[in-house]
Amino acid sequence: MTYLNNILHQVTKPARYTGGEWNSVVKDWDKTFIRIALSYPDLYEIGMSNMALPILYELLNNQPDVLAERVYAPWVDMEAVMRTAGIPLFSLESKHPLKDFDIIGFSLGYELTYTNVLNMLHLAQIPVLASERNDSHPVVIAGGSCALNPEPMADFIDFFLIGDGEEVLLELLDSFRDWKREGKGAPKKELFCQVATIPGIYVPSLYQVEYQADGSFKSITPTVAQARPTIQRRIVTKLPPPVTKPVVPYIEVVHDRGAIEIQRGCSRGCRFCQAGTIYRPVRQRSQSEVVQAAGELIANCGYNEVSLVSLSTSDYCGIDELVASLSHRYHNLSLSLPSLRIDSFSVRLMEALPSRRKTGLTFAPEAGSERLRRSINKNTPEDELLKTAAAAFDRGWISLKLYFMLGLPTETIDDIEDIIQLVDKIRSLGRKAKGKRPRLRISLSTFVPKPYTPFQWVAQESEQQLNSKHELLNLGLRRKGIRPSWPDPKASLLEAALSRGDRQLGKVIYRAWQLGSTFDAWSEHFNYENWLGAFEETRLEPSFYAQRERPLDEPLPWAHIDAGVTTAFLKQEYQRAVEGIETPDCRYKNCNTCGLEHWQPACQQKYQAKPENHHPQQ
């Protein structure tokens, strides 16, 4: 595209838009039957660090009659240049406009990227509203964690893929092939009815939504026979082969290293954590497969650092053996282990990593008191926390980053004071070990009630309540020479509203985008006034969705999506949270009857085979 040469000098980081990276796949456009654009509604640097897109990119391009190309949200400078020049949004590989593709697939992983989806469609010269698209336009689909409550984006997406995409996407392609072979005479409605019969696919246009007099959600019912009353989340029984030939970016991205998914799912059961529910059950990749994949990544990409990715990496059975094997096989390889548990084993594990500079460790206590940690089912005793910190300082680490969450259900001012006291105790341990003040970084996040968690019914705290806690923490920690960081409570309020919203919020999202909202996840671009105006114009309130405690028997807008974990189990967990009762991890204790019991025998057999290689907490 010659016009790229005329505009790229006007924008920052033009390599975001050039394509041509190492390992990118370019197929013959004219000889490929199905053309799919994999779209990530955020910057190139963010999207290139996403784990799901490389899996789907390889899966689709392995199909002889399919091409898959990538597109990311252009930054504001590039958008302005494209709009001025009348250039439609295009893919990186072939530079074809998105409107020429058959399917555009969005990955929805964060609610504050929703307006970017609308903006990308508009930049692509494709009608934003699904109801305004005709048979000549691409089919717009979406998946990802946010698709488990698809209703806020239902006005813009033709259909959603619910759960693991590796199998259901191929089944969708079979239906699309059949429909496309029928020629242009076959209306899209026929395709929609056909794919609605595939387990794990939700077609919102085939359902009717009703609301109560007060505006709360009442019911959602199919309007055609093909649409299922309940859509079950798709779960792959065995992880697909790891991606070992991913696209290597020209510029530095957020996670600028190789990545291997060593395990999918987590059964720890932290009650605030949506991922711990919607990615169950735990499925683990064999050590031999991981070791081989690391070698292929090095050979295919030239990386000297590989991240072993999991929701709870230290729970991988035999993680210490795996680290030792990788260190022995690849002498110059640096390993990254995200998502470690707070225990001394994790410190010893980090100690064993090759080529690891002892610059910092990151742990997430989440709460300052044992009572509150027990309530959220992250029951790490304070003694264990302090023991872990002491071990880290004694072994040479010079800084710690600690994550805490504010506004958790049952939280009191005493719990906030306990954060200050816990941080002070950790600081004293560092001084004792090193003889000087350690570097502590404290990151605070705001509790957001999420669907499919035991806290999906609770109210988010108001901005006033959160600010008073921020001030208390800020004052207490600054006296110790520590400056905590925290997000804008208004952004957290919007996240909660979109997370627990119903289909009525489509009007709000649409209006906020019309008012200029994009890149809402970026603090320098977040404009709460736009959103407040959008809510007011549509006669809705963010507090109704975010800050209202919902009765346990109130119908939920996402209840027609079956994530596998039962509502009865979530209600039971909510009651146990109120009572401060821990629920043990079912991999090490008895089954908790969460709804996925049919996985339990296989999990027990796998994890009990080598009990010395896992490290259960209290």
Residue 205, domain CATH: 3.40.50.280
The domain of 473 spans: 359-484
Amino acid at 251: I
What CATH number did the domain enclosing 459 receive? 3.30.750.200
The pair of structure tokens assigned to 351 is: 């100690």
Give residue 601's pLDDT. Answer: 46
Output the CA–CA distances (angstroms, integers) from residue 526 to 81, 107, 448, 483, 487, in the order listed. Answer: 21, 21, 18, 23, 12
Q: Which of 15, 151, 34 is nearest to 72 (CA)?
A: 15
Q: In angstroms, what CA-CA distances link 201 with 148, 238, 275, 611?
A: 11, 20, 20, 39
State how many domains the chain has: 2
- Look at residue 590 in the predicted model and tell me its pLDDT: 85
pLDDT block averages, 10 residues each, the chain of length 618: 81 94 96 97 95 95 98 97 95 97 97 98 98 95 97 98 96 95 81 96 98 94 96 94 94 90 94 94 94 94 91 90 91 84 80 64 91 94 91 85 95 96 92 78 96 98 96 92 92 98 98 97 96 97 97 96 96 96 89 79 43 38
The tokens describing 433, both together, are: 């070990």
Distance CA 31, CA 605 (A): 48
- The pLDDT, as a whole number, for residue 218 is 96
Cα separation, 506 vs 153, in Å, equals 6
H helix intervals, 515-558 = 528-537, 542-546
Residue 354 pLDDT: 66
Q: Is residue 313 part of a domain?
A: no
Structure tokens, 341: 């548990």
Task: Look at residue 526 and tell me if it is in a domain.
Answer: no
Peptide bond into 409 cis (omega under 30): no
Out of 464, 484, 504, a domain closes at 484
Instruction: Examine residue 275 and state whether it is found in any structural domain, yes or no.
Output: no
For residue 585, being part of any structural domain is answered with no
Please answer whether residues 476 and 417 qualify as being in contact, where contact means their C-beta atoms are separated by less than 8 angstroms.
Answer: yes
As a whole number of angstroms, the distance between CA 258 and CA 58 comes to: 15
At residue 357, the pLDDT reads: 54
Q: What is the pLDDT of residue 604?
A: 46
The answer to whether residue 476 is domain-embedded is yes
Written as six digits, the tokens of 543 are 């507090």
pLDDT number for residue 242: 95
Residue 62 is assigned to a structural domain of this protein: yes
Distances (CA, A) of 137 to 97, 98, 170, 188, 207: 12, 10, 21, 10, 22
Where a domain ends, among 227, 249, 272?
A: 227
Residue 200: inside a domain: yes
pLDDT at site 124: 98
Residue 411 inside a domain? The answer is yes
What gap in Å lies between CA 574 and CA 146, rounded to an integer?
Answer: 22
Measured at the CA of 146, the angle between CA 275 and CA 200, to 5 degrees, comes to 90
Q: What is this structure's pTM?
A: 0.94
- Residue at a domain's end among 469, 484, 499: 484
Amino acid in position 345: F
Residues 370 and 223 in one domain: no
